[in-house]
Chain A
Amino acid sequence: MITAKGNYVLFPCREISAGRPKIMDVMEKLAILTDAAKYDVACTSSGVDRSGKSGSMGSAVASGICHSFAADGRCISLLKVLMTNHCVYDCKYCVNRSSHDTPRTAFTADELADLTINFYRRNFIEGLFLSSAVMKNPDYTTERMIRTIEILRNTYRFNGYIHVKAIPGADEALIRKMGLLADRMSVNIEFPSEMGLEKLAPQKTPEAIIKPMGLIRSGIEENSSDLVVYRHAPKFVPAGQSTQLIIGATPDSDHKILTLSEGLYNRYKLKRVFFSAYNPVVEDPLLPSLLSAPPLLREHRLYQADWLMRFYGFSAGEIVDSKNPNMNLAIDPKCNWALRHLEEFPVEVNRASRERLLRVPGIGVRSAEAIVRARRAGSLDFDGLRKLGVVLKRARYFVTCRGKTDEGVRIEPDAVLRGLLSKNDRKMLPAASGDQLAFTDLPEMASLLGGAPVSAFGYLPEERTAVHAEREYEFGIHI
């Protein structure tokens, strides 16, 4: 097994029954090619509902299904591996760069198809996530990936989920062919700005990345008009396309990242934009040092912002703008917005529209829906909200029920602060400032907080992942 630091330990700890050298070989490849694929964060199996068919095996569920959770708390839904980690490119940030001294290997199409189908039958996975380093050239690599998927779809009659990476620079016809076999296709943009790409991946051009994205989009559009004419026309990536941005390897601001994401959702009709906190894998003067921790909190705040844009009706400009280009890490982006827009509050629970309810800190999609439904049967008070399972910890400062605020709500600075910030958030407050603040000062204080503790790469070294786990529920984030 290779560790992130590139040390190779010959054999991943477990014994295996003697006399099965073939599996042994596959195990070794699996360890190498999983390790090389793990920094790709997308692992969802969502976006398409497809029931089973006789004569084939498998189905897909629109919500996606998690089959396990790894020790880092991330969901495992697909068998996420590289076809090969042999690479002709030498991108500075990447574990697979050609100058990196690391063991190289490649699956054969048969090996990988067999592994996928056997994992699937045991219900270990929802399907395959196939990516690859570039072996020989983009076309050669893509053909090898296509062969694997063809075996799965045609020989094994596999009807489950397949996510493939389009290899930038591959022939248009090959990308189309792949799109007709896969459920989702993605191209990783990696760097939010061209500058980052130039410096860190000099052999790649922005055009090479944007081109396949455009191809996938037009493939989806043409296909949907074909489907109107021929109901059984094969579907082109029915679960849409996604991409990934690396966070913290370059000095790009949250504003840059979020407006880019917004553009991708609107113009390229992407289903998801994933964020990956940069994990230092190599010492290079252009990159954060090997000792710096991945900016997990910033990644988490970006996911919250992404959720606000996709499900809560927020635009990127409402979350960050050119004056405040970075989010405040101490407080979630919805709270931050609410504090800057106190004129929008309080919201009357019994009359506010679903859209306005969604803008209340602490009220998520599920709570908003429960409120809208329950108030049809009669007007709600705070007790009623609690019965609905609405968490009032933060919401109580922003809502009224029948014109009244919640009992015991003190609109006093320390109480409001305590109410709005989680335990982890509070640790980040400058120690002395607590008692001299007025409620109306909060927005200013919030921006002050945002500025103070952030390092050049937007990250507090001691802040690890606890916040990540704690907040996940409101937003239901499954990466």
Chain B
Amino acid sequence: MQNVNTNLVYIYDGTLEGFLCCVYESYARHEIPRGIRTEGGQAELFEEPHWITTDLNHSAKVYESIDRKIALEAQDFVKKAFLTCVDNREILMYRFIREGYKCGRRVFDRLTDETVGSITKAVKNLEHEAHQFSGFARFSLFDGIMVSCISPKNMVLPLLADHFADRFRDETFLIYDKTHKMAVVHKPEGTLLTSMEKLVLPPIDNAEKAYRELWKCFRDTVAIEERFNPKCQMNHMPKRYWVDMPEMEQGS
């Protein structure tokens, strides 16, 4: 018998492992929480908070069970879902995993179900945003080190890190996510994801300026006047991506 406590809210440390421990606790204690949030998150009215401590043995067990009981790709899916910006993603993920335990890989087909539908949409949105940034992110060179700043909605950094670490294997680069205050640092020896409060950059040098000008010249010249269509341009490249593109600085 499940103890259905409609006011129960789990509070965890904000890590994926911590979240997986919430799943573990809920099964161990035979109860279904109403919400799952971090310490700093918005408290709900009449909530009955319960603090979950992160135990790496527990999280590993849950993680392994996702592969075994749902599907191999479900692990990847859950990891990605955790990076999305959908509201209440933890409780959606929790319900998704519960459903998955019951019906296995068929849970992925239940697209008309509210939980499965919204979490699938959220993961697609994350993947799409990561794809967009793989094209729209810009690097500037500072003494041979490539630096990029982005302001994504989802936590796209781990996905972008894979893409750029493969592409620029032998380079040293840093991508700073201003929204989540995280950064990825890549050197030929390896890649590191870290939190970073602030990034202060020196002014760019003349060579950097010159290449930016050349790029602007190319971008402006390649457009065909007779086909001018700023609305179409904006549909494909929404303004929120422009803020971190040096070539868009003067709002051109």
Contact = CB atoms under 8 A, between A and B. Distances in A.
Interface of A: 1, 3-4, 12, 14, 16-17, 20, 23, 26-27, 30-31, 34-35, 37-39, 51-59, 61, 63, 65-77, 79-81, 115, 118-119, 121-124, 126, 160, 277, 279, 293-294, 296, 370, 373-374, 376-378, 380, 384, 387-389, 464-466, 468-469, 472, 478
A4 B245 CA distance: 27
A3 B226 CA distance: 11
B169 A52 contact: yes
B102 interface: no
A411 B108 CA distance: 36
Q: Is the interface of B mostly helix, strand, loop or mixed?
A: helix
Nearest to A389: B121
Interface residues of B, number: 57
Nearest to A468: B232
7 contacts: A38-B223, A38-B224, A70-B222, A72-B227, A76-B219, A124-B138, A469-B231
Contacts of A160: 167
Interface of B: 106, 108-113, 117, 121, 131, 134-141, 146, 148, 166-171, 188, 206, 209-211, 213-233, 235-237, 245, 247
A27 B140 CA distance: 19
| Closest 5 pairs between A and B when the two form their complex, measured CB to CB | A73-B232, A70-B223, A469-B232, A72-B227, A377-B109
Contact of A69 (B111, B121, B226, B236): B236
B221 A38 contact: yes
A53 to B, nearest CB: 7
Contacts, number: 199
A327 to B, nearest CB: 20
A4 B225 contact: yes
B109 A374 contact: yes
Query: How would you classify the secondary structure of chain A's contact residues: helix, strand, loop or mixed?
Result: loop
A167 to B, nearest CB: 21
B190 to A, nearest CB: 13
B170 A54 contact: yes
B229 A16 contact: no
B229 A465 contact: yes
A119 B211 contact: yes
A376 to B, nearest CB: 5
Contact of B217 (A27, A126, A387): A27
B53 to A, nearest CB: 36
A265 B174 CA distance: 43
A69 B238 CA distance: 10
B223 A72 contact: yes
Contacts of B148: 123
A118 B167 contact: no
Contacts of B225: 3-4, 72
Contacts of A81: 218
B156 to A, nearest CB: 14
Contacts of B206: 17, 20
Contact of B215 (A16, A65, A122, A370): A122
Nearest to B227: A72
A66 B236 contact: yes
